[in-house]
């Protein structure tokens, strides 16, 4: 509460003036009085750094001190806080953040890859130099997911955390469901609309969601998580036919990042999932994100909102700045982590669950007997089986869907390997995990 009595400005150096950087400057200017009242002191941008000095960004930065080299912000004695909005796990962004922390300067960043890959090192640097590192904007954009998990649920032992963490994938899956169009067509439309990048792989292959899940899991379980131990699948193989089967079965397809702590250890994966149509997560459509957390005492919390975009991201970045101005900061993973190595998730094969398996099989007698024999031999018990008749004669293959009872990942993978080796099966089997959500 003492910070409110201070009225000297908190002076900011912003690196990166893309959509988010320009958004932060716009917000700081639009809400200057409000922020000053809430933070107890003005928030003032004194210096910026970006690649192109002359580009029109919709905000006037001509009066601000300019650095061509972002790392120079650290050495500017007028810069109290470094705001890193460059992005990327390596290069300029990493150099800048590490240098600022070493210099004892608080850092605010929106950089999910950096935190996911170097969360252990950064936590140590932050603790050793007593320099707060805040990153609310790194997960789920404007949704205060990090604050919710690290502070709002700080009293409870969390069992599970995750959710819909990538708006591009959620948009594509929503449009596929609503229009019946296939993945490639909807991706193309999303690119034209600006909802997907020209190179969409970080989003559609699940990496972006995995970065965010790695961070959420670290916060929930109080220890940085090894990014390379998180199992990651994307949505490229989800077909229009899967959307149609999912509907018939009473589910919706969502790309979920889910981390849970069990007696065996941490499970953490990003995979397409079937979620019951009536579940709260199933209702979160389009570009929206949602974060769920489950604790022993609190039960289940879900928070949803806009997971990207200049406005929501600027809101999260600036909320971190208000926290710094108020003197309310916290160790990176919610506990002092100087000595904690990253926690490794268990291999996916050690998990269990119920599965949707979609095969493309020849439409002739005996095929189903061969496949069900494999399932029996692998100890995988079948809950239901659905088949669509061939829609035309151009292919001898028809889709066949198997829904299993709860079984081990290892047994399911064994069965899928054997099924994919059958000559009557074309393509590899599409596996979608079934979640109660």
Q: Residues interacting with a second copy, by CB under 8 A?
A: 1-2, 4, 23, 27, 30-31, 34-35, 37-40, 127, 130, 132, 136, 142-144, 147-148, 151-157, 222, 280, 283-284, 295-306, 309, 311-312, 314-319, 321-323, 326-331, 334-336
Q: Pick the closer one to a second copy by CB: 130 or 381.
A: 130
**Is 112 assigned a ligand-binding role in the annotation?**
yes
CB of 232 to a second copy, least distance (A): 27
CB of 252 to a second copy, least distance (A): 13
**Is 190 assigned a ligand-binding role in the annotation?**
no
**Is 16 assigned a ligand-binding role in the annotation?**
yes
Residues 6+ apart with CB under 8 A from 354: 383, 403, 404, 405, 406, 407, 433, 434
CB of 175 to a second copy, least distance (A): 16
**Is 17 assigned a ligand-binding role in the annotation?**
yes
CB of 231 to a second copy, least distance (A): 27
Q: Pick the closer one to a second copy by CB: 119 or 312.
A: 312
**Is 20 assigned a ligand-binding role in the annotation?**
yes
**Is 21 assigned a ligand-binding role in the annotation?**
yes
Q: Pick the closer one to a second copy by CB: 145 or 259.
A: 145
Write the burial class of residue 283 (CB in 10 Å: 0-12 exposed, 13-18 middle, 19+ buried). Answer: middle
Write the burial class of residue 253 (CB in 10 Å: 0-12 exposed, 13-18 middle, 19+ buried). Answer: buried
Give the distance, in angstroms, between the CA of residue 58 and the centroid of all CA atoms in the same chain. Answer: 28
Phi, psi of 120 (to 5 degrees): -75, -50
The DSSP 8-state label assigned to residue 131 in this structure reads: -
* Residue 212 bears catalytic tag: yes
Query: What does the DSSP assignment read for 228-287?
Result: GGSEE--STT--HHHHHHHHHHTEEEEEEEEEEEETTEEEEEEEEEEEETTSGGGG--TT
- From the list 95, 138, 151, the residue with the least C-alpha distance to 323 is 151
User: Where do runs of H (alpha helix) occur along 308-436?
Assistant: 310-326, 367-377, 409-420
Q: Looking at 105, 147, 212, 254, which residue is catalytic? A: 212
CB of 141 to a second copy, least distance (A): 8
Neighbour tally for 263: CB within 10 Å: 4
Give the distance, in angstroms, between the CA of residue 73 and the centroid of all CA atoms in the same chain. Answer: 29
Find out whether 71 and 96 touch, Cβ atoms under 8 Å: yes
Handedness of CA 176, 182, 185, 188 (dihedral sign): positive
Question: How long, in residues, is the chain?
Answer: 437
Q: Pick the closer one to a second copy by CB: 258 or 398.
A: 258
Q: Pick the closer one to a second copy by CB: 131 or 434.
A: 131
**Is 22 assigned a ligand-binding role in the annotation?**
yes
* Catalytic residue list: 212
The binding site for NADPH comprises 112
The binding site for NADP(+) comprises 15-22
The binding site comprises 15-22, 112, 197
């Amino acid at each position: 509460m003492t910070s409110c009595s201070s009225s000297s400005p908190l002076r900011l150096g912003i690196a990166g003036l893309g959509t988010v950087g320009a958004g932060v400057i716009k917000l700081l200017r639009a809400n200057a009085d409000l922020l000053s009242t809430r933070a107890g002191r003005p928030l003032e941008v004194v210096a910026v750094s970006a690649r192109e000095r002359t580009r029109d960004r919709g905000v006037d930065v001509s009066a601000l001190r300019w650095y061509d080299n972002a790392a120079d912000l650290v050495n500017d004695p007028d810069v109290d806080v470094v705001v890193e909005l460059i992005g990327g796990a390596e290069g300029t962004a990493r150099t800048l953040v590490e240098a600022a922390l070493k210099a004892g300067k608080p850092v605010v960043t929106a950089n999910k890859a950096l935190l996911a890959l170097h969360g252990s090192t950064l936590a140590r640097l932050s603790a050793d130099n007593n320099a707060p590192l805040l990153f609310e904007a790194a997960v789920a954009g404007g949704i205060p997911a990090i604050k919710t998990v690290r502070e709002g649920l700080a009293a409870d032992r969390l069992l599970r955390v995750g959710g819909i963490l990538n708006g591009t994938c959620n948009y594509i899956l929503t449009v596929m469901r609503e229009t019946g169009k296939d993945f490639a067509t909807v991706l193309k439309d999303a690119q034209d609309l600006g909802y997907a990048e020209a190179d969409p792989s970080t989003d559609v292959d699940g990496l972006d969601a995995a970065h965010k899940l790695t961070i959420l899991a670290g916060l929930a379980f109080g220890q940085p998580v090894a990014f390379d131990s998180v199992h990651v699948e994307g949505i490229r193989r989800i077909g229009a036919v899967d959307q149609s089967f999912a509907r018939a079965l009473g589910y919706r397809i969502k790309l979920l990042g889910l981390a849970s702590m069990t007696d065996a250890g941490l499970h953490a994966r990003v995979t397409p999932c079937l979620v019951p149509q009536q579940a709260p997560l199933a209702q979160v459509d389009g570009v929206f994100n949602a974060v769920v957390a489950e604790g022993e005492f609190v039960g289940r919390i879900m928070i949803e909102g806009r997971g990207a975009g200049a406005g929501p991201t600027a809101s999260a970045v600036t909320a971190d700045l208000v926290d710094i101005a108020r003197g309310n900061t916290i160790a990176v993973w919610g506990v002092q982590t100087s000595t904690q190595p990253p926690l490794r998730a268990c291999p996916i094969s050690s998990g269990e669950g119920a599965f949707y398996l979609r095969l493309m099989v020849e439409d002739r007698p005996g095929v189903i007997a061969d496949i069900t024999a494999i399932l029996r031999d692998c100890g995988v018990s079948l809950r239901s089986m659905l088949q669509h008749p061939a829609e035309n004669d151009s292919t001898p293959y028809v889709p066949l869907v198997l829904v299993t009872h709860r079984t081990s990942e290892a047994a399911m993978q064994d069965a899928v390997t054997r099924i994919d080796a059958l000559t009557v099966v074309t393509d590899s089997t599409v596996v979608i995990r079934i979640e109660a959500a």
